[in-house]
Amino acid sequence: MALLASACCLVLAPGLAAQKKPKPRKEEITQTLQLPKELPGAAIGETRRLTFHVTPLSPRGLLSTQVRDALKALTRETGHNPVLLIRAFVAGSGDLRRVRDLVSEVFTAGRQPLPALSLIRAGGLPLEGAQVVLEAIAAGKKEVSPHGLVFLSAPVATSDNPLDPVAPLAAQSLDSLKRALKTAGSEPSDVVRVTCFLSSLENLAATRKLVEADYPRAALNYVQTQRSPSRALAACEAVARLTWNTGKRVSFQPEEGEPLAALVAAQHVVLTGAQVSYGYEEANSRLAFGRLQKVLEAAGVSGRDVAFARYYPLAAPLAAQVRELRAEFLAACPGSLLLFEGLPGMDAGFAVDLVAAKD
């Protein structure tokens, strides 16, 4: 009997061993996350085909969600036309670098050319909870500006008291803008984009009413420059269609004194993303201008071809430094220079982006 039991155990043991034998584990798949592709320093577009866009504001979600929503809205508006340049104004404390990464991810996923990017932290946007607004320049399929474009600098109107109402200052800036537009030979109906930089967004309706009355067809944007400005300020810059044959690739109006408008009839323009100066010394600023020169050279132009410049310093001493240095690197041209809340990088001092003429 014992012998029979032992035999049964010997017969069953191999079966039990087979049941207990662990199944071979599937090889674990390790997912490698690709780093976002680096955005180009500049993009080149045909001047006569450029279109201008401003994305709607949204209070929904955190910064990443709002950036994705803004990019979706931009894609719907531009269709299959490539976006050349995005200027992003971000309010709040979100990480600015996340905006850059998302722009790269979204355009890469859509198999679209990557745009150049200017990324600026603003003091506020005109919708509670809104954290980002995108201004974009795209390359359309049709000629929409047969003679070229006019880039108009932002006339600055200020008051020493930062609590003074902004609407009267906006009216002053808009009056100066209208005169510069007329001097350039264009009409309000030719304006394609207006951006008003304001020290406060209180009673924005009054300023909005002024802008919409003159420029009902333009893409409009309103940005508070700093959360706690030292003075009240309004400055409205614009882009318009050129309406006459200047006979020159670039000309400035007025012809004497400080130019307020760049009339660009060149076949192409180079649109640079913002080049940031890291550090606050003159040597740091020179390095930033030097890097910008290399970006221009890679696009086949130089500082002599620059038609319009926009500067984003974070403090008055840095603004003064920019004014002293820019003539060494760039041609004398119109542009905008206003103090802003922040830039990518803890030690950023100022940023600059450019429009240059290219045949």
Mind listing the pLDDT tens digit for each residue in 231-266? 999 999 999 999 999 999 999 999 888 899 999 999
User: Among residues 238, 169, 242, 236, which one has the least CA distance to residue 202?
Assistant: 169
Residue 166 has pLDDT above 80, yes or no: yes
Can you list the domains of the chain with their CATH numbers? Answer: 38-142 (3.30.1330.40), 149-241 (3.30.1330.40), 268-359 (3.30.1330.40)
What pLDDT does 306 receive? 98
Mind listing the pLDDT tens digit for each residue in 43-91? 999 999 999 999 999 999 999 999 999 999 999 999 989 999 999 999 9
Please give the model's pTM, rounded to 2 decimal places: 0.89
What pLDDT does 25 receive? 53
Residue 141: partners with Cβ closer than 8 Å, 6 or more residues away: 49, 81
How far lies 321's CA from each of 29, 35, 122, in Å? Answer: 54, 36, 21
Residue 23 has pLDDT above 70, yes or no: no
Tokens 């201004």 -> residue: 135
How far lies 77's CA from each of 23, 83, 154, in Å? Answer: 55, 11, 26
Q: How confident is the model at residue 21 (pLDDT cuts 50, 70, 90)?
A: low
Mind listing the pLDDT tens digit for each residue in 322-334? 999 999 999 999 9
- SS3 percent helix, strand, coil of the chain, rounded to 5, is 35, 30, 40
The better pLDDT of the pair 35, 113 is held by 113
What pLDDT does 11 receive? 41
What pLDDT does 32 receive? 52
Query: DSSP 3-state assignment of 227?
Result: coil
Residue 116 has pLDDT above 80, yes or no: yes
Mean pLDDT of 140-162: 97
User: Among residues 189, 139, 148, 151, which one has the least CA distance to residue 48?
Assistant: 148
What pLDDT does 256 receive? 83
Residue 267 has pLDDT above 60, yes or no: yes
Structure tokens at 353: 């982006």
Residue 4 has pLDDT above 50, yes or no: no
Give the count of alpha carbons within 13 A of 52, CB side only: 23
Cα–Cα dist 118/100, whole Å: 9
Q: How confident is the model at residue 22 (pLDDT cuts 50, 70, 90)?
A: low
Mean pLDDT of 160-176: 97
- Report angle CA 249, 112, 93 to the nearest 5 degrees: 90
